[in-house]
Chain A
Amino acid sequence: MNYSIKKDKNCLLVAIFGEIDISITDSLREDIDRALDNYGSGQLVFDLGGVDFIDSSGLGVILGRYKKVAGKGGKVFLAGAKPQVKKVLELSGLFNLMEEYSTAAEVIDKIS
């Protein structure tokens, strides 16, 4: 499995491992959306600590989930991005929409 999705306290935690490109984006998008529908969580946390690579297809999945969650008044957090992943996130402008944390544990502590 390249990612795990679980409810942690009052948020939905999506931990992704390895490389995020079009080989996983379709299933990642569907699985997160299903979990959001089931848990109805207003706080979505992406744990990117295990991610070695991301391209614009991956960013599209994050932005799409942000629109969904923010549209219902929720928030999305990005945690643990390694330098190469962070560079791409910075260029994309996603950090202007979502708060950045160094670890997922830190986000969950803060928001629960």
Chain B
Amino acid sequence: MNKAVIEFSSRAENVSFARVAVAAFVSQLDFTLSELEELKVAVSEAVTNAIVHGYGNDPEQIVRLEIRVAENYLEIETIDTGRGIDDIAKALEPAYSTDPERMGLGFAFMQSFMDKLDVISEQGRGTRVKMVRKVRAPGRAAVREH
């Protein structure tokens, strides 16, 4: 298992940093360009949610991103210590949003572009969103197990 942990301020301009960081770290895996584009959307959604909903756009908070790469899969966990989600099942429904200006598609994209999505949240404590994506074309193993 090869890991990277990044903590950054909850600022809008850091969402693109998070996408680039993940793309760079997973370059050791055999993802195609179009798979990388999908990963970037999933990361963007998770990090944007942490900033916008978790922290209510307060730029002084910290978003933590944990990236774990194994031989044939990738795990990305986005962690905020913000307000938390009241009703996770409802939040995961496509087109559900607590903000009328938003489409409510963030979780739907995370679900379509990743193989597994786990959301753990506690009101007033924060939210952890864990996403797993398998490497579809196993070729050169990125990280060898010893």
Contacts and interface: CB of A to CB of B under 8 A. Distances in A.
Interface stretch (A5-13, A39-47, A52-60, A98-106): A52-60
A52 B38 CA distance: 12
Given A21-B15, A23-B13, A55-B44, A91 B103 contact: no
Contacts of B38: 87
A86 to B, nearest CB: 11
Contacts of A60: 101-103
A83 interface: yes
Q: Which of A53, A57, A64 has the most CB of B within 10 A?
A: A57
A88 B106 CA distance: 11
Contacts of A63: 103
B58 interface: no
Interface residues of A, number: 19
A102 B6 CA distance: 39
B16 interface: yes
Contacts of B45: 55-56
A84 interface: yes
Q: Which applies to chain B's interface (DSSP): helix, strand, loop or mixed?
A: helix
A63 B15 CA distance: 21
A96 to B, nearest CB: 13
Interface in A58-93: 59-60, 63-64, 83-84, 87-88, 91-92
Interface of A: 19, 21-23, 29, 53, 55-57, 59-60, 63-64, 83-84, 87-88, 91-92
The 10 closest A-B pairs by CB, nearest first: A84-B37, A55-B44, A23-B12, A56-B105, A22-B12, A60-B102, A23-B13, A56-B106, A60-B103, A21-B15
26 contacts: A21-B15, A21-B44, A21-B48, A22-B12, A22-B15, A22-B52, A23-B12, A23-B13, A23-B15, A29-B101, A53-B19, A53-B44, A55-B41, A55-B44, A55-B48, A55-B109, A56-B45, A56-B102, A56-B106, A57-B48, A60-B102, A64-B101, A84-B34, A84-B37, A87-B34, A88-B109
